[in-house]
Amino acid sequence: MSVSYINEEIALDSNTYSVIDSISAIQFSNQFTIIFDLFSSDWTKPFGYQLLGNYTTDGFGIFNLNTVTPTLFINSVSSIQITNLNFEQLDTVETTAPLKAIIRLDDLNFFYTIQSDGAFSKYNNNTTLIYTSYHPVLQNLYDYDYDNTDCYALGYNADNATTELIKINLQTGFIDTIDTTVSTLYNFYFYSATSISNATTINFKNDNFYFTKGDKAERYLDTIYFRAASGTGFGIQLEHSK
């Protein structure tokens, strides 16, 4: 939300922002001044706050660990090129098969990859491999979603000729199959798709799974926007969301 801050304390919680004069006004004088006091209840925890500008072009921010400095992961056929925002190469991670996904959580301590050979791998921020797990669903991946503890993948299992939903524990790499017909741990809702057998996208929120029959779907707040195979876009209000 946007708030007018005059002699006020600004809580850096990723939910507030303030608008200043256009950049042209700063360029005209060729200078600006920002004065602030910074407080943290625990300085040992990593944080990174963009005070002015944004993460992708320019601005001014404060970071207490290098690992929260913005980096780019550039996927190629056989490796991941890790660069800073000036495209200066920082590291390279070799892969055994083309990548289908790169997953990074907010704390940036680890990142995860899904390969076309069915491998799910975890690396720390020094690009050291922690584990690799395999599952045939990841070879024919339709879509995936994740939270801070698990990755949920929807795909076709050629071993038994069925579409399956699997859960990958991010901490351990343990993979389990979720049976949407008998599971009581989650709620399952289908939009345009009638069952998991013809679903092609997945979104997860608060123990609720949402499936559509599109080629791309993204959830924003309480609405899922998905694109059908015909190219037509739809927005669906999630009446069951919490």
pLDDT in tens, 136-180: 999 999 999 999 899 999 999 999 999 999 999 999 999 999 998
Q: Token pair of 162, please?
A: 């069925």
pLDDT band at 126 (very low <50, low <70, confident <90, very high): confident
Place of tokens 């609405």: 223
Bigger pLDDT: 77 vs 96 = 96
Instruction: Give the strand pairing for 150-157 and 162-169.
Output: antiparallel
- Residue ranges, CATH 2.40.10.480, the chain: 98-237
The average pLDDT across 71-89 equals 81
Bigger pLDDT: 106 vs 145 = 145
Helix segments in 31-188, DSSP class H: none
Cα 231–Cα 234–Cα 238 angle in degrees, nearest 5: 150
User: What is the topology classification, in CATH, of domain 98-237?
Assistant: Thrombin, subunit H (2.40.10)
With the C-alpha atoms ordered 99, 101, 106, 109, is the resulting torsion angle positive or negative? negative
Bigger pLDDT: 208 vs 222 = 208
The average pLDDT across 113-142 equals 94
Bigger pLDDT: 22 vs 110 = 110
pLDDT band at 241 (very low <50, low <70, confident <90, very high): very low
pTM of the model: 0.68
The average pLDDT across 181-210 equals 86
